[in-house]
Structures are given as C-alpha cells and as structure tokens.
Structure 1
C-alpha cells in the first residue's frame, strides 16, 4: 500500500498526539455529518416550495445515502493510496459546495443532484474513512477510539436538528443551507489540515501490535460481506423513521421544530 501523505514521520501509537487527533476527528465528524441530517430537517420546506409529493421530496435523502455509500468506498480507496488528509480536504470542499449549490437550486432535480453527488460523497469522508484512519493510531484503546470517532455522526444528528429550525424560521431553508455550507468550509478545512501527519510506521506496515489475535474460520471477504449485510439490516430500519420524522410531526401539526427535536433525541440515543 502506497502512502504519500506524510509531511513528517508520525508519532507513536497511543501517544498524546493520537488522542489529540481523535478529538479533532470527532469535531470534524460532528460538523461534517450535517450533510446527512440537514436534508431531513428541510424536507417539508423543500416539498412545499417545489410543489412535489412526499415520495419525490424524499429522493434527495435517498440520493444523499447513495452518494454516501459510494463515497465511503471511493474515498476509502483514495485514502489507501494517498493517506487521509488530501481526500478529506477535497471532500470537505465538495460538501460545502454541495450545500451552497443546493441553496441555489431551482428544481427538486437540481436539489437531489447536489445532495447525492456533492453532499453525499463529501460527507462520506467523516464516517468509514475517518474511523479507519483513527484505528491506525491506537492499539490498547482502539475500541474506544473507533467508537468515539463514529459517535461524531450521532453528535451531529443530535446537534444540527436543534440549531437549524431557528435559523430556518428567521431566514428560510436556503439561507440556512448556504450558512451551513460556509461554516463547513471555514471550519473543516483547517481541521483537516491539522491531520496531515502520516500514520505511525507500525500501523502502515500492518504491525499486529501487542495484543494477540484470535483466528477465525471466515475469510476477510466473507467477513466483509457479513458486515455489509449487517449494515443494511441495521441502517434500513433506522433510516425510515429518521428521514420522515420531521415531516410526519409537521403533518400532525407539531411543526418543524418539534420534529427536529424528535430527530435530535433519536440520534442522541445512538
């Protein structure tokens, strides 16, 4: 595996820098995962403005998830070759551009394309690839580090839906999207640049570390397939209430803010 991102040799596994990198990664995920949840909050407003039914209004979320899934593979492959920070930088800019273009969209098709191509793929860098990257920096506390990095996505789901309704009520969904896009650009780019150090040499070389590894009868390919099936079974069940909860609460007369609060509670529990 070729790695070209090292500006200087990385410090050791489980070092103080590793913990700092984890904190930066969590913050990056909390900001960047807005790409997954913003579309859920604005769904009722988008549906009303473009005059489409609920099925058509849900397509941007579907496109976002398709882009997110594809991005985890494509960006992950790029990270295998170049290291984390360069693909992450490009993805962060793509996410910001997608939010800005979505704010300027004049049809549900344009909005859907911005969500799927730019926001979905751009957001992917803060999930699977980020988790894989942080796993290189820990041995004794790898489980904690990986779950903490993954938790950034859920922190975003708890935080952003509580912020967006207030701004949407005052300025509308387009302004809210544009403001979030600018915020992502000015915060994520510096955070990504703080992650330019290459992975520790032992991690790049595939060192097993000090822990013993228990052999299993399944091949890596079989394990990968099982993980994909498990992910589908888990996330399909979760995504259905998540994508419709805000619009459903609005249909019941509770308003967007209360629907967003419900989404926030669901994600905080994650």
Structure 2
C-alpha cells in the first residue's frame, strides 16, 4: 500500500516538479524516515518527555519563592527578581537555540539545556545570597529555552498530515511541567527543604536530558526539506506578502495575544483575594484553567490538521476575547470558576498555532529561528501584560480596566490574524478563478 504523500501542496505544483512516485516512499527507499511514520511518533513521545523535564525551569522558582524570600531576608519584589531574569533569559535563549536547531539539529541545544539547568539548579540550591540565586536563574533561563520553541520546530519536520497534533503535544510539555513539577516539589520541600529539592531537580534533569538528547540525533533528509520548501512557497504565494513582513505580523500578533492572556493567568489569584474569596479559591481557578488548557491545546492540533493553523488561530483569538469580556460582567465565586474554565478551554491552543503557521508559510530551514522569535514575543507579551495590568490596578484600585485592556490587546491580535486569513482565502479564490 502506498503511503500518504509527503506534503499537501497548498497550490498547483510548478511545472517540471511533478512527481511520479510518493515522496515518502522515495525517502524510505533512500534509507530515511518518512514523515508521519512509526519513527515520527516515537520521536514525538520522547520530545514530550524531554519538554516536560526541561519545563521545570519555568515553574520551580514560583514554588520556592516564599521560602527563598524568608531565607535571604528580602522583600517580595526583590524575591521576584530571579523569576524576571529567568523569563527574560528564556525569551532570548529561545531565539538563539532556535537558530542553532536550524543549523545543527536539536541535540546540541538539548545538551546545552541539560547542562545549564543542572548547573543552574545546583548553584541556586547552594546560593549564599540573592545575587548568586538570581545569577543561577539566568542559567536556568538559558536551559529552559529549548523546551518550547526549538522542540516544536524540530518535531514539525517529522509530521505532515498530523503536524498540528504533533506540535501541540510537544507544547503541552510546558503545561505538564507546570502540573507535575510543583506537585513533586511540594512533596519534597517539607521533607528535605527547598535547597536540597533544587539540587535534586538539577541532578535529575542533567542525568536524564543529556542521555535522552543522544536519541534525537537523526535529522530529516534533504528531500523532506525540499518538499516542505515547495509547499510553504506555494502557501506563502496565496498570502502575497514577504516572509519578513509575515514574521513581523506574527510577532506583533503573538505579543498582543499574550498581553491579553496574561491578565487572568497572572492576576487571577490576587483578584480573588481582593474580592474576598481568598487566594486558595484563586489558586483552584488557576489550576482549573491550566488543566482545561491542556485539553484545548491538544484539541487545537486536531482542528489545525483539519482546517489549517491560520483558521484555528483566528477562532482561538476570537473566543479568548469572548472569555476576557465575560470577566467584565461576572465576578461571583461560582461564575468566576465557570469563566476561568471557559478561558482555559479557549486560550490553551493559541500559542502553538504560531508554530504551525510558521511551518505552513515560512521556509522550513528557518523554522527554529522563526518559531523561536514568535514564541519569544509571546513570552515578552506575558511579562509586559502581567506588569502593565498591575500598573493599571495601582492607578485605578480595580482590575476592571485591566480586563478591558486585555480585551483591547486581544482585538489587535484578532485583527491581524483575521486579515492574514482573509487575504489568503481571497487570493486563493482569485487563483482558482484564473486557473479555471
């Protein structure tokens, strides 16, 4: 039985490039691994495991922050500095390690991640003061940079029919890390303290990620990249803008959507405390949001494989705007649980769709750099949105204007992605009429 074709070309195949046999069959005949095959799914499972391990770098500081604050005798703003440094470093390392993935494959970035995370966590565990503790989180930020953008870029080369699902599965490693690592740390810290827990995390990551990286040595064949290049060129022609301009628009869209997304994620616990419901209820709402976010993240992959990344992102952006608007009108305890659950269902699949769109429309040999840049924009959007929402609250003594600010940023995101979708659809229809 013939295997599925390597790529579903988004437009007519240029003359002289017509193929007489399945590209996937040609790849396997040459000793390579065809996309969507057994090796691809095995690599997907391994990528999810590695992403979950590396994702510890993003969540550990949130768990130990109160203990570290007491240990170092500093105030809350000073204790937040390691998190800020980690996130900023993470954003830049995602770009740098994404470029490295394009040139050398994923093994070296993973080796850097395993080493940086191992050293960073151990150094933080033995830190005598906040300065050393903060510097250690720069290393942790470097190490965490491989776990999201570069890993999504790598797995995208091994799937065509199920690329959307593959990308969101790897992206879910971040959410799984946010579920598993804080739980394990909350169990370990009362027994051995936060310092020993940090050292243990570093040793576990170094001992697992470094050898697992060796299992990721294989790289897609030249035929895979050639066929992907033809597909993205045809799809990009339907949009009718240059790769650089498309990347600029995706960066702006990613930044704006995550400014909007940050308001509930960063301030929901404090919002519940201000309403008199207690921070415990706020933490429960946040957990519900994250859990349903995993479901929506996986579901968005199936939707993207059916209708495309652009359409899926447009739907997700619109629904996130609806959920943010609901926060303006409902502030009862039960209604906040419902709205937070709805928000989780709507927002979980948005960020991975930028990776899917990059692979649909941009040159595949630059996937790591492009996805890394867009993902970094989303990280900066989360950081700016969380801070700016706090500024708005300080000025107004209310989160109502902060939620409205999120709605407006979401409207900008929706305008960009809707325009890209409309332009591609319109040009594709014109092309079909001319061909007829």
How far apart, in 2, do the equivalents of 1:147 and 1:51 lie?
A: 41
Match of 1:105 among 127, 131, 135: 127
Match of 1:138 among 151, 159, 178: 159
Q: Which runs of 4+ in 1 moved over 6 A?
A: 209-212, 243-250, 257-262
1:227 equivalent to 2:250? Answer yes
| 183-192 vs 31-40, greater mean Cα deviation | 183-192
Higher-Rg structure is 2
Q: How does 1:245-264 map to 2 (within 5 A)?
A: 264=287
Partner residue in 2 for 1:37: 59
Partner residue in 2 for 1:70: 92
- In structure 2, the CA distance between the partners of 1:68 and 1:197, relative to structure 1 (3 Å rule), is same
How far apart, in 2, do the equivalents of 1:61 and 1:239 lie?
A: 15
Q: Structure 1: which 5+ residue stretches go unaligned?
A: 1-7
- In structure 2, the CA distance between the partners of 1:115 and 1:235, relative to structure 1 (3 Å rule), is farther
Alpha carbon RMSD of aligned pairs, Å?
Answer: 3.0
- In structure 2, the CA distance between the partners of 1:227 and 1:90, relative to structure 1 (3 Å rule), is same
Cα offsets for 1:162-182 (capped at 9, x unmatched)? 111111111111111111111
1:86 equivalent to 2:86? Answer no
Q: Determine which structure has the larger helix proportion and give its number.
A: 2
How far apart, in 2, do the equivalents of 1:70 and 1:42 lie?
A: 24
Match of 1:14 among 30, 36, 40: 36
How far apart, in 2, do the equivalents of 1:258 and 1:104 lie?
A: 34
Deviation, structure 1 residue 258:
9.0
How far apart, in 1, do the equivalents of 2:47 and 2:162 lie?
A: 15
Which protein, 1 or 2, shows the higher relative CO under an 8 Å CA cutoff with sep ≥ 6? 1
Q: Structure 2: which 5+ residue stretches go unaligned?
A: 1-29, 294-436
1:173 equivalent to 2:173? Answer no
Cα offsets for 1:103-138 (capped at 9, x unmatched)? 11112121111112x111111111100000000001
How far apart, in 1, do the equivalents of 2:218 and 2:181 lie?
A: 30
1:151 equivalent to 2:172? Answer yes
How far apart, in 2, do the equivalents of 1:248 and 1:206 lie?
A: 50
Aligned residues: 261
